[in-house]
């Protein structure tokens, strides 16, 4: 079995795409889909074993991974050297997907300054540095496409305020870069995932997992999303079909940004649901195996 993408085969033939955070979660899924559509993939992140696992999977499925690079993505010198090495080893980069992040729940009153800074380094500084260097060293001369993965900039995120603040900054960075780099033929966009049931949720504390079981009550489409549904949005924005789209922040959250209830509205039971789950190696959060809904509350 291979990735069941909704896009035409060969969509990214001849293109080299760098995926940061490609060792797991959404980055792993995105790397798989892009490779299945003909892209040559470069993976970057902190943990060699995770990157190599993704690379082995992609190659077993018939795709191509040009290399795996481990580094601290918020370290300026390391990122400058990374991009230079990629260009020397593999030639120009046509696309960049920034999927690296460090998500963890915390109330603001319990959040240390070190944890705050770590979130901004992992989610914002890393995206800025990789985008800047890919632009300066390559895309300024030949164009290209950049997609960041962020957090919803338009709503409060109680319990995840650090991630929300970094996400709002990333959305603004996306818009500014889109304007500054447009005349070079570079498009910059951001995708905001909602509740996606990847295996990374298994690392959350038990009380958070308990709350996540009732996510359907907060989402108009009444379910978790799949990694493939997020990946499809990223792939679209990287493709020529999105050639007139830049500076946008695209939510893939089942409508959660609008809320699922109102003081005059209680949603009925869901029906006629459509789910896209094209990632043949999807790893779902184990704690949800006994059911993800809580309609009896």
What are 102-137's pLDDT values in tens digits?
A: 778 899 999 999 999 999 999 999 999 999 999 999
Q: What is the rounded CA–CA span in Å between residue 251 and residue 220?
A: 14
For 225-246, what is each residue's pLDDT tens digit?
A: 999 999 999 999 999 999 999 9
Q: pLDDT at position 58, please? A: 98
pLDDT at 26 over 80: yes
Element (H, E) at 97: strand 95-98
Instruction: Work out the mean pLDDT of the chain and round it to a whole number.
Output: 93
pLDDT at 293 over 60: no
The mean per-residue pLDDT over the stretch 36-60 comes to 97
Q: pLDDT at position 296, please? A: 36
pLDDT band at 290 (very low <50, low <70, confident <90, very high): low
Q: Write the DSSP string, 120-177.
A: HIIIIIHHHHHHHHHIIIIIHHH-EEEEEE---TTS--TTBHHHHHHHHHHHHHHHHH
Q: Which residues lie below 8 Å from residue 16, measured CB to CB, with a gap of 6+?
A: 39, 40, 41, 42, 66, 90, 91, 92, 93, 94, 95
- Give percent of the chain with pLDDT exceeding 90: 76
- Give percent of the chain with pLDDT exceeding 70: 97
Q: Which residues lie below 8 Å from residue 210, measured CB to CB, with a gap of 6+?
A: none
Residue 195 or 201, more confident: 195
Q: Considering the entire predicted model, what is its pTM?
A: 0.93
Q: pLDDT at position 264, please? A: 86
CATH of domain 16-251: 3.40.50.720
**SS3 state of residue 103:** coil
Q: What is the rounded CA–CA span in Å between residue 293 and residue 297?
A: 10
Q: What is the rounded CA–CA span in Å between residue 254 and residue 129?
A: 31
pLDDT band at 23 (very low <50, low <70, confident <90, very high): very high
Do the beta carbons of residue 145 and residue 104 sit within 8 Å? Answer: no
pLDDT at 188 over 70: yes
Q: What is the rounded CA–CA span in Å between residue 182 and residue 247?
A: 9
> Quick count: other Cβ atoms within 10 Å of Cβ 112?
9
Element (H, E) at 212: helix 206-212
Q: Which residues of 210-243 are buried (b: 16+ CB within 10 A; e: fewer)?
A: eebbebbebbbbbbbbbbbbbbbbbbbbbbeebe
> Domain residue spans in the chain?
16-251
For 204-214, what is each residue's pLDDT tens digit?
A: 888 888 888 88
For 237-273, what is each residue's pLDDT tens digit?
A: 999 999 999 999 999 999 988 888 888 898 888 899 8
């Amino acid at each position: 079995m291979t990735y069941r993408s909704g896009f035409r085969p060969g969509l990214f033939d001849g293109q080299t795409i760098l995926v940061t955070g490609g060792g797991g979660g959404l980055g792993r899924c995105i790397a798989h889909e892009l490779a299945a559509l003909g892209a040559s993939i470069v993976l970057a992140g902190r943990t060699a074993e995770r990157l190599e696992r993704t690379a082995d999977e992609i190659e077993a499925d018939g795709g191509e991974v040009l290399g795996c690079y481990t580094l601290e993505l918020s370290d300026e010198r390391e990122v400058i050297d990374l991009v230079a090495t990629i260009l020397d080893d593999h030639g120009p980069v046509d696309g960049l997907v920034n999927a690296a992040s460090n998500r963890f729940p915390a109330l603001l009153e319990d959040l240390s300054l070190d944890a705050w800074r770590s979130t901004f380094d992992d989610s914002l500084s890393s995206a800025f540095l990789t985008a800047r260097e890919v632009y300066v060293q390559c895309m300024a001369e030949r164009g290209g496409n950049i997609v960041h993965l962020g957090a919803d900039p338009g709503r409060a995120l109680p319990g995840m305020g650090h991630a929300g603040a970094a996400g709002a900054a990333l959305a603004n960075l996306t818009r500014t870069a889109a304007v500054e780099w447009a005349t070079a033929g570079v498009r910059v966009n951001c995708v905001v995932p909602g509740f996606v049931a990847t295996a990374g949720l298994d690392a959350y504390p038990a009380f958070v997992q308990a709350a996540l079981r009732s996510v359907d009550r907060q989402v108009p489409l009444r379910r978790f999303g799949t990694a493939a549904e997020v990946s499809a949005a990223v792939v679209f924005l990287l493709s020529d079909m999105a050639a007139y789209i830049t500076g946008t922040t695209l939510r893939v959250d089942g409508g959660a940004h609008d809320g699922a209830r109102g003081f005059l509205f209680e949603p009925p039971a869901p029906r006629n649901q459509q789910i896209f789950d094209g990632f043949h190696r999807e790893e779902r959060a184990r704690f949800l195996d006994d059911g993800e809904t809580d309609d009896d509350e």
